[in-house]
Chains A and B, each alone.
Chain A
Amino acid sequence: MEFEPLDDFEEKLKRSFERWPAPPELKRRLMENRHRRKERPRWFALPREVLVAVSLSLGVGVFAALYSGIASYQHEQQREGEAARQQVLTALRITDHALDNINKQLAAHGRASQE
């Protein structure tokens, strides 16, 4: 096959197959997942000086327990939410697939009745 200048149909294909833009949420979720994977909780992005000052005033032990407990809970909720979201998307996919198959069966049934 020669790869010379594209013919009219190929030009149409090229124009039609432009890249789709990525969903706006893709990058945000990706960066969150990446961040989570590196296991550096930053739910409270306070300056170091403030953290040190609060630790001193509250007592390092109490603060550390609160910080990791709340961050851990929110982290867990977010993770569970994401997992549930993925399951919802899979559920929709399977539903769509089942409906497509039903559509095909009905179409075939309709053609058979006409014969």
Chain B
Amino acid sequence: MAHDWQPDFEQLVDEHQSMVFSLALRMTGDRGLAEEIAQDVFLEFDRWLGKMESADHARFWLRRVAMSRSVDALRRRQTRGTDRWVEMEDHHGIHVEERTSPLGARLEQLLATLPEPQRAALVLRYQEELTPEEIAAALEAPLATVKSYLQRGLKLLRTKAAIHLKEFVREKECVRGV
């Protein structure tokens, strides 16, 4: 069946670059790498442009490939997540950018410590607001597996947040006391 939708590459880049970049950044925790991944994804997208049937199809494709490339990059790099508090203290003394609240910044850091499949599921759930069915399609994983990633990932994140937020609150009190 012929489709009437005529994809415009530049317009699609404008529309989706933030999504692709954010997915790659949250998965890898590395801005330079996220940029490289975003470039690769869009250049690959350009090759498949003629096969895109609709705006939704394009968005689904970009999301799926962005996640896939990010996971590949992570595995190649063999990043080891850690919840060591001393690392999360911005050891080299950098101030976290004030785009989000300090709490939000901590949650971002905690996300980076989760195992990769759980991190992927949570990013798609809370950044992209996808349903478990949509997450399963994006990750090309069974629905039951995705539900398990979400459940375990959320539980782990809550536990870590409870520990580290307590530390965070204590730190703020100390600063105030000085």
With contacts A12-B107, A16-B103, A30-B13 taken as known, whether A103 is within 8 angstroms of B87 at the C-beta atoms is yes
CB-based contact B87/A1 at 8 Å:
no
CB-based contact B87/A23 at 8 Å:
no
Which residues of A have CB within 8 Å of B42?
Answer: 30, 34
For A, the interface residue count at a CB cutoff of 8 angstroms equals 34
Which residues of B have CB within 8 Å of A19?
Answer: 18-19, 21-22, 127
Separation of A56 and B108 alpha carbons in the complex (Å):
62
For B, the interface residue count at a CB cutoff of 8 angstroms equals 52
**What total count of A-B pairs have CB within 8 Å?**
104
Partner among A3, A16, A34, A103 whose Cβ is within 8 Å of the Cβ of B131: A3
Chain A contacts with B in 70-101, Cβ cutoff 8 A? 86, 89-90, 92-93, 99-100
For the residues of A in contact with B, the DSSP-based class is helix
Which residues of B have CB within 8 Å of A100?
Answer: 87
Partner among A13, A21, A31 whose Cβ is within 8 Å of the Cβ of B107: A13
Which residues of B have CB within 8 Å of A15?
Answer: 100, 104
Which residues of B have CB within 8 Å of A104?
Answer: 82, 84, 86-87
Taking CB as reference atom, which chain A residue is nearest B41? A30
Separation of A65 and B158 alpha carbons in the complex (Å):
66
A9 shortest CB reach to chain B, Å: 6
A26 interface residue per 8 A CB criterion? yes
B157 interface residue per 8 A CB criterion? yes
Which residues of A have CB within 8 Å of B19?
Answer: 19
Taking CB as reference atom, which chain A residue is nearest B86? A107
B167 interface residue per 8 A CB criterion? no
Taking CB as reference atom, which chain A residue is nearest B100? A16
B139 interface residue per 8 A CB criterion? no
Chain B contacts with A in 136-178, Cβ cutoff 8 A? 147, 150-151, 154, 157-158, 161
Separation of A99 and B154 alpha carbons in the complex (Å):
30
With contacts A1-B150, A26-B38, A99-B92 taken as known, whether A37 is within 8 angstroms of B43 at the C-beta atoms is yes
CB-based contact A18/B127 at 8 Å:
yes
Q: Which 5 A-B pairs have the closest CB atoms?
A: A16-B104, A89-B32, A22-B17, A19-B22, A22-B21
Binding site for B on A (CB under 8 A): 1, 3, 9-10, 12-23, 26-27, 29-31, 33-34, 37, 86, 89-90, 92-93, 99-100, 103-104, 107
